């Protein structure tokens, strides 16, 4: 699933618009929309989006041994 789709679902579950989420994260809705279109969010940006929404972002690789490599 693309990050932009995850963000849209995130917004629905939080009952927020994408524009509102953009403003909360310190971006204009237009700039945020362009980042969604290009799929160009960094891990730090995703963590910031989660933080300003009162949530937590967790991104990691899980090795066959079960060990996690988390950013």
What range defines the domain where residue 11 resides? 3-70
| Cβ atoms 68, 52 nearer than 8 A | no
| Cβ atoms 7, 13 nearer than 8 A | no
At 47-63, the pLDDT tens digits run 999 999 999 999 889 99
CATH of the domain at 41: 1.10.260.40
Domains in the chain, number: 1
pTM of the model: 0.86
At 23-40, the pLDDT tens digits run 999 999 999 999 999 999
Collapsing DSSP to helix, strand or coil, 71 comes out as coil
């Amino acid at each position: 699933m693309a990050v932009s789709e995850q963000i849209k679902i995130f917004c629905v579950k939080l009952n927020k618009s994408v524009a509102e989420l953009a403003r909360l994260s310190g971006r204009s809705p237009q700039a945020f929309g362009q980042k969604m279109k290009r799929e160009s969010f960094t891990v730090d940006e995703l963590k910031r989006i989660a933080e300003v929404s009162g949530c937590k972002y967790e991104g990691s690789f899980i090795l066959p041994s079960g060990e996690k490599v988390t950013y």
